[in-house]
Amino acid sequence: MKAIVTGGAGFIGSHLVNALLEEQAEVVILDDLSASDSGNEAVPQDVKLYQFDVKSADAYRAVIEEEPDVVFHLAAQADVTKSILAPVYDADVNIGGTINMLEASRTAGVKKFIFASTSAVYGDVIKLPITEDDPVKPISFYGTSKLTAEYYIKLFHNMYQLPYTILRYGNVYGPGQRPKGEGGVVAVFTEKLKRKEPIMIHGDGSQSRDFIFVKDIVTANLKAMKADQIGIFHASTGTSTSILDLATCFKQLGASLDITFTSERAGDISHSCLCNKKAAAGLGWDPAIGIYEGIKRTWQLS
C-alpha cells in the first residue's frame, strides 16, 4: 500500500508518516517545508520527499507520477489569526490546494482521500457536544476555507466517485508542535513554562476546547484508511477542557504559573466539544489518552 501525506513534515504529518511506516506502508511526503523548522531532517530516511507547494502544478504531477492508493491531505494554512490578516492566502492554500490534490487524486485513481478538517467549521455554537449533523457556521476565514474544501471533496465523490473520509479534528496537541504557526495553546504554554516565563490567556480563561493528543489523531487517520466508510467523522475526545483547567494540568506537573490575562482574539470561539460516537461506530476508533496524560507526555518530551 502506498500513501502520500501532504504536510508530512509538519507536526501531525510527521507523526502520521512514522505510524504508516510501522504499518509497512510505502510513504511519500509532499511538503514545501514551510512549517518545518528542521527542514529535510523532519523526513525519515528512505522516504521520498517532493518539496512542492500543494497548490502547484509540480505537486499535481507528483501525485500522478506516484499513483498512491491513499492520499492524506494534511497540508494547510492552520492559523486563525493569519487567516484574518491574509484571507486570500488562506483560501489559496486551503481551498485551491485541496482542489489541486483532488484533481490529481481523481486522475491517479486514488482509492481513498482523507482530509484533515477542523472544529472551526461550526463557529461559536451554544450546543455541546457538537455532532456531525449540527449546522456549520464558521466565524473565521480559516473555518470557512476548510468548510469550502469539504464541499469540494463531497462533490468530487458525487461526480467522480472518489472515496473520502473527512476528519474534523478537535484541538490537537503533543510533542513536536511549534508554539507558532500551526501551534496551539498547549505548545505555547509548554514553551513559556519551560522557560519559566509568564503565560498569556486571552479572555478570562473560561473558554474551552476539545483537546486531543496527536497519537490519537494518528490512529483515527489509520482507522479511516482501513475502513470502507465514506463521510465526515469527529476525531475528538468528546470532553471539554477550559484554558484555566489546562493551565492547572501544567501546575500539577510542577510548572510555576504566572498568568497574564489579555483581551479576547477576533475569530476565536468560546467553547468547543465534539461528540465522537460516530467515529467509534463507523471507524472503530476511540481516543486512548486523556488530557492530563497527554500534557504529561508533551511536557516530558519537549
* Domains of the chain, start order: 2-172+212-237 (3.40.50.720), 175-208+240-272+290-300 (3.90.25.10)
Is residue 142 part of the annotated active site? The answer reads yes
> Is the pLDDT reported for residue 183 higher than 80?
no
The closest of 159, 7, 138, 32 to 80, measured between CA atoms, is 138
Torsions phi, psi for 87 (to 5 deg)? -65, -30
Quickly state the pLDDT bin for 212 (edges 50, 70, 90): very high
Q: What is the pLDDT of residue 266?
A: 75
> Is the pLDDT reported for residue 258 higher than 60?
yes
**Contacting residues for 291 by C-beta, under 8 A, at least 6 apart:** 211, 237, 239, 241, 246, 249
* Ranges 9-13, 39-43, 54-58, 74-78: which has the least confidence: 39-43
* Mean pLDDT along residues 69-74: 98
* Mean pLDDT along residues 109-120: 97
* Mean pLDDT along residues 233-244: 96
Q: What is the dihedral of CA 219, 225, 226, 228, to 10 degrees?
A: 130
Buried b (16+ CB within 10 A) or exposed e, 144-176: bbbbbbbeebbebbeeeebbbbbbbbbbbbbbb
pLDDT over 90 for what percent of the chain? 83
> Is the pLDDT reported for residue 181 higher than 60?
no
Q: Which of 50, 60, 122, 142 is catalytic?
A: 142
Quickly state the pLDDT bin for 268 (edges 50, 70, 90): confident
Quickly state the pLDDT bin for 264 (edges 50, 70, 90): confident
Q: What is the pLDDT of residue 93?
A: 98
pTM of the predicted model as reported, rounded to 2 decimal places: 0.94
Give me the chain's average pLDDT, please: 94
CA–CA distance, 202 with 293 (Å, rounded to integer) = 25
> Is the pLDDT reported for residue 182 higher than 70?
no
Q: What is the pLDDT of residues 14-60, one digit of tens each?
A: 999 999 999 999 999 999 998 765 556 779 988 999 999 999 999 99
Asked if 13 and 76 count as a contact pair (C-beta separation under 8 A), the reply is no
